[in-house]
Amino acid sequence: MAEEKKSAVLVKLAGKFGDDIVATHSDFGDDTAQVRRERIVEICTFLRDDPGLRFDLAMDCTGVDYLGEEPRFEVVYHLYSIAKKHRVRIKARVPEEDPVIDSVIPVWAGMDWFEREAYDMYGIVFRNHPNLKRILMYEEFEGHPLRKDYPKARRQPTVGPKE
Amino acid sequence: MTQIEAYRREAGKLDMQAEPMILNIGPSHPATHATLRLIAELDGETILKLTPEFGYLHRCFEKESENATWTQVIPYTDRLNYVSSLMNNVGYVMAVEKLCGVEVTERCKYIRVLICEISRIIDHMVCIGANMVDIGALTNFWYFWKPREEVYMHLIEPLTGIRLTTQYTRIGGLLWDLPDGWVEKCRDICRNVIVPAIADVNALLTKNRIFIERTMGVGSITPKEAIARGFTGPCLRAAGVPLDLRKDETYLVYDRFDFDVPIGEQGDTCDRYMVRMEEMRQSLRIIEQALDQLPGGPVNVDDPRFLLPPKQEVYDNIEALMNHFKHIMEGVQVPAGEVYSATEAANGELGYYIVSKGGGGPYKIKVRPPCFPLFQGMPHLCEGGMLADLIAVLGSVNIIAGELDR
């Protein structure tokens, strides 16, 4: 799909950040940019504040576990612009041995719980998150249930409510 | 110590000079209407700090989906927002169809619009009815419960065979076409049951001084804050942002209907009520137009890759039998890729992020439930307010634990 006409959002992003945008595609009509995790906050701030982009509404943040690939995890953000009515997907790979990425809460306050959920389910650590703890599972739960190597049939004892 | 507490302490304004009291609400409390837990730090009756907690209804939707075929995920989506499960069905299959590149038939699109709008009406009815019970107006609850029951009895049950766990949509179409007489019944119920019910509740509440004083200015939010916190749906529109995906990213056949998007001004409990009331009226307009325009023809795409062959053919010839077997055992074959597909559900943007590596089942499904950021915004809406207002606000943002916890 290399010859496909690139969308304005991706062109603008690539123009601003150059090599920090690892790859882009617009498969199935969804504009997608894979970026380096080190600059995620800068890129997100640019996406929010640039007058031509204005991605003011962060819809979703989640992880994906590509077990067997390197780097193993991917953090995926879905953004929407109320003014421009367009969407973009931002992805950043994080390796298994150091699954850390900067938190984007300073950019969108609403990402707080989404990041907690990605931490809970995949063990991705969001640096500078003010309250990074489990959200759907309980504190005593061991492991991260949506990792592909967490067996579906594994059972853990449930415990009482926390103090 | 929160800012409010610090301020009050400094100014010597803490009602009780002792330590703040911690009050636990839920997880099983009549006013939470689901398994939600709220931990409130109170100074007298003022909420200093609110900590929402949930996960009691976590059913591993995403983990289970990764081990199911594409079609087997449809019943799981019923359990997300169980008040309007048809909308979840539609949202999910639209995401898979986007990945497959399937264009469903005209009739199918109209029926999907109809079931979505009917679901939106009953969802709003449950929200307003339950919210009013919590703040002491029981009559409205019954005024809205009767039409909701009529919709279940005469529209959804004949259509799907089931009340709540509908699983009515299929990839590339629907389970089956509308039953005989459904269109007339739908028109009849909309005109003679739902419209009077909305009028009754409107007459009881909208100009009711007790109701207005109880809800106006309670749990308000500015548009800027609402956007930063990821609010969508009626709660965002109540704050004055006219974001409605049916208009802004029109899908199915919503561009063919004439309807308005109501917005509020203060983003408070009263505005959320007003927006929902008006949305029900707009949904009725859409239903009337959709029934008028409803085309004939098949409801399913004519493509054996996506749909089961007719049962008689399965008995009669080997190709259909093999096709049937492949569908059930291996699932619909979906190309590799990733999509995010969003629809305007009753509470806001219901998004499905799907990753496929090809084959019969999803590699990953992430649901973006509209309640999730709304519940996250609860402390912002309630801190500094009274404890009794917490109940009014919680009802008005309409938290559905099924989609919150997944």
User: Chain A: nearest CA to B186, how far in angstroms?
Assistant: 34
Shortest CA distance from A87: residue in chain B? B340
B338 has a chain A CB within 8 A of its CB: yes
Q: Residue B335 above 70 pLDDT? A: yes
- Say whether both B36 and B85 belong to one domain: no
pLDDT for A119 equals 92
Question: In Å, what is the CA distance from B149 to each residue of B205, B402, B406?
Answer: 21, 21, 26
* DSSP secondary structure letters along A11-47: HHHHHHHGGGEEEEE-GGG--EEEE-GGGHHHHHHHH
% chain A with pLDDT above 90: 15
Chain A interface test: which of B100, B246, B340 (most A C-beta within 10 Å): B340
pLDDT for A2 equals 42
DSSP label at A93? E
- Say whether both B26 and B156 belong to one domain: no
- Closest Cβ–Cβ partner in A59, A111, A114 for B349: A59
B369 neighbourhood in chain A, CB within 8 Å: none
- Say whether both B67 and B49 belong to one domain: no
Q: Of residues B207 and A161, which shows the higher confidence score?
A: B207
ipTM of the complex: 0.88
Q: How many pairs of residues across A and B have Cβ atoms under 8 Å apart?
A: 90
Q: Give the model confidence (pLDDT) of B118-171 as tens digits.
A: 999 999 999 999 888 888 888 888 999 889 998 998 999 999 888 888 889 988
Chain A interface test: which of B96, B224, B366 (most A C-beta within 10 Å): B366
**Per-residue pLDDT averaged across B309-328, rounded?**
87
**Per-residue pLDDT averaged across B59-88, rounded?**
88
A59 has a chain B CB within 8 A of its CB: yes
User: Chain A: nearest CA to B212, how far in angstroms?
Assistant: 29
- Say whether both B130 and B21 belong to one domain: no
A80 neighbourhood in chain B, CB within 8 Å: 349
B368 has a chain A CB within 8 A of its CB: yes
- Say whether both B194 and B227 belong to one domain: yes
Q: Residue A161 above 70 pLDDT? A: no
Identify whether B234 is preceded by a cis peptide bond (ω within 30 of 0): no
Q: Residue B18 above 70 pLDDT? A: no
B187 has a chain A CB within 8 A of its CB: no
Segment 107-126 of chain A within 8 Å of chain B by CB: 108-114, 121
Shortest CA distance from A88: residue in chain B? B340
**Per-residue pLDDT averaged across A15-38, rounded?**
84
Q: What is the CATH number of the domain that holds B292?
A: 1.10.645.10
Asked if B228's CB is within 8 angstroms of A110's CB, the reply is yes
pLDDT band for B13, please (50, 70, 90 cuts). low
Q: Residue B32 above 80 pLDDT? A: no
Asked if A121's CB is within 8 angstroms of B353's CB, the reply is no
CA A62, CA B240: separation in Å to the nearest integer? 28
Q: Give the model confidence (pLDDT) of B94-120 as tens digits.
A: 999 998 888 899 999 999 999 999 999
Q: Residue A1 above 50 pLDDT? A: no
- Say whether both B148 and B44 belong to one domain: no
- What is the enclosing helix (H) or strand (E) of A118? helix A112-122
Q: Give the model confidence (pLDDT) of B202-223 as tens digits.
A: 998 888 888 888 888 888 888 9
pTM: 0.87
Range name among A87-91, A125-129, B31-35 with the lowest pLDDT average = B31-35
Asked if A85's CB is within 8 angstroms of B227's CB, the reply is no
pLDDT band for B17, please (50, 70, 90 cuts). low
CA B119, CA B86: separation in Å to the nearest integer? 7
- Say whether both B401 and B370 belong to one domain: yes
Q: What are phi and psi of B271, to 5 degrees?
A: -65, -40
Q: Residue B255 above 80 pLDDT? A: yes
% chain B with pLDDT above 90: 25
B261 has a chain A CB within 8 A of its CB: no
Q: Give the model confidence (pLDDT) of B160-178 as tens digits.
A: 888 888 889 988 888 888 8
Structural domain boundaries enclosing B199: 61-405
- Closest Cβ–Cβ partner in B340, B372, B405 for A89: B340
Asked if A137's CB is within 8 angstroms of B55's CB, the reply is yes
Chain A interface test: which of B56, B62, B349, B376 (most A C-beta within 10 Å): B376
A136 neighbourhood in chain B, CB within 8 Å: 54-55, 58, 405-406
Angle between helix B195-205 and B106-134 (nearest 10): 30
- Closest Cβ–Cβ partner in A57, A60, A65 for B227: A57
**What is the average pLDDT value for chain B, to the nearest integer?**
87
% chain A with pLDDT above 70: 93
Smallest CA-to-CA distance from A79 within A118, A126, A32, A117 is with: A32
- Say whether both B236 and B169 belong to one domain: yes
SS percent in chain A: helix, strand, coil, step 5: 25, 25, 50
CATH H-level superfamily of A8-127: NADH:ubiquinone oxidoreductase Nqo5 subunit (3.30.460.80)
How many domains does one find in chain B?
2
User: Chain A: nearest CA to B381, how far in angstroms?
Assistant: 14
Q: Give the model confidence (pLDDT) of B223-252 as tens digits.
A: 988 998 889 989 999 998 988 888 888 888
CA B214, CA B101: separation in Å to the nearest integer? 50
A151 has a chain B CB within 8 A of its CB: no
Q: What SS3 string covers chain B?
A: CCHHHHHHHHCCCCCCCCCCEEEEECCECHHHCCECEEEEEEECCEEEEEEEECCCCCCCHHHHHHCCCCCCHHHHHHCCCCCCHHHHHHHHHHHHHHHHCCCCCHHHHHHHHHHHHHHHHHHHHHHHHHHHHHCCCHHHHHHHHHHHHHHHHHHHHHHHCCCCCCCCEECCEECCCCCCCHHHHHHHHHHHHHHHHHHHHHHHHCCCHHHHHHHCCCCCCCHHHHHHCCCCCHHHHHCCCCCCHHHHCCCCCHHHCCCCCCCCCCCCHHHHHHHHHHHHHHHHHHHHHHHHHCCCCCCCCCCCCCCCCCHHHHHHCHHHHHHHHHHHHHCCCECCEEEEEEEEECCEEEEEEEEECCECCCCEEEEECCHHHHHHCHHHHHCCCEHHHHHHHHHHHCCCHHHHHC
CA A129, CA A118: separation in Å to the nearest integer? 12
Every domain of chain A and the residues it spans: 8-127
Q: Is A129 helix (H, G, I), strand (E, B) or coil?
A: coil
- Closest Cβ–Cβ partner in A32, A57, A135 for B55: A135
